[in-house]
Amino acid sequence: MATASRLDAPPSFASLRAGGAALFLDFDGTLVEIADAPDRIVVREGLSMQLRALSRQLEGRLAVVTGRAREDITSHLDLSGIAVAGSHGADIFDATGERLGEEAKGLPTATLDYLREAADRHGLMLETKPHGAALHYRQNPDAEPQALASAQEAAEEAGMAVKFGKCIVELVWPGIHKGRALATFMDAPPFQGAMPIFVGDDVTDEDGFSVASDMGGAGILIGAPRSSSARYRLDGVEELYAWLER
């Protein structure tokens, strides 16, 4: 992992595009600012059209790779004609809407019941997804230890893995991560042979940064300096939009 001080500003987007880059964009904390709750985000006006224009500039080599369920992200953005991976890469679709790879399993009923009960008991918000679930503690930060312990216990029981994020802990099936989503896209046209650039803000984006780097590309961390597998950094969401214009 690079240390914070070694994260430089990325080369201009125009130069990366001219060099045949493929762009993988995270959503929360990258394309939209973090909000109090998942449904309170403010999506920039015209973002869907902007993403479609970006995709055209990149000859289709653009994908949104998010921890949100695909059904959730598409309630905020019109992603028709754009490749998307939902649920941290458990649910991958190309730009024509065709599924890539196997459909991941859903959550066992007993696990969901356990998480519901834990959310009620500790004042947490439960977000269910077709391929996992998340406990949010942004509204009740003191309950972080209970959220982590409940998720860990539920995951162990179900044979699932735990992911940590910004005031959130999530259950996913083992092997599901954003780097896997990136590699799946890179395996087929129009991504094949391109230089992958993964842009994200959170710990779950580190897998995307690492795999992008292994495949000859790089990661761009959005936000304050920290230890990261990304090679580059931009200060925040607004700086990302400014970079995309250059």
Ligand X SMILES: O=P(O)(O)OC[C@H]1O[C@H](O[C@H]2O[C@H](CO)[C@@H](O)[C@H](O)[C@H]2O)[C@H](O)[C@@H](O)[C@@H]1O
Q: Residue 18 CB, nearest distance to ligand X (Å)? A: 28
Question: Are residues 61 and 81 in contact, defined by beta-carbon separation less than 8 angstroms?
Answer: no
Using CB under 6 A as the binding rule, whether residue 224 contacts ligand X is answered as no
Site for ligand X contains 67 (CB under 6 A): yes
**For the chain, what's the residue count?**
246
Q: Does 180 bind ligand X (CB under 6 A)?
A: no
Clarify whether 26 is annotated catalytic. yes
How far is Cα 168 from Cα 126, in angstroms, rounded to an integer? 10
Burial of 3 (0-12, 13-18, 19+ CB in 10 A): exposed
If one asks whether residue 38 binds ligand X (CB under 6 A), the answer comes out as: yes
Please report where in the chains the tokens 């790879």 appear, as a residue: 101
Residue tagged active-site, from 26, 28, 94, 201:
26
Other beta carbons within 10 angstroms of residue 144's beta carbon come to 16
Q: How many residues bind ligand X (CB under 6 A)?
A: 24
- Give the chain's radius of gyration (CA, Å): 17
- When the beta carbons of 94 and 206 are compared against ligand X, the nearer one is 206
Can you tell me whether residue 146 is helix, strand or coil? helix
Q: Does 179 bind ligand X (CB under 6 A)?
A: no
The one segment of 15-23, 113-121, 131-139, 146-154 that binds ligand X by CB under 6 A? 131-139
Segment 134 to 173, residues that bind ligand X, using CB under 6 A? 134, 136, 138, 165-168, 170
Cβ-contact 169, 132 below 8 angstroms = no
| 66 makes contact with ligand X (CB under 6 A) | yes
Between strands 218-222 and 195-200, the pairing is parallel
Q: How far is CA 212 from the centre of its chain?
A: 14
State yes or no: residue 127 binds ligand X (CB under 6 A). yes
Q: Does 41 bind ligand X (CB under 6 A)?
A: yes
Which part of the chain contacts ligand X (CB under 6 A), choosing from 10-18, 64-72, 149-157, 229-237?
64-72
- Which sequence positions are flagged as catalytic? 26
Q: Which residues bind ligand X (CB under 6 A)?
A: 26-29, 34-38, 41, 66-68, 127, 134, 136, 138, 165-168, 170, 202, 204
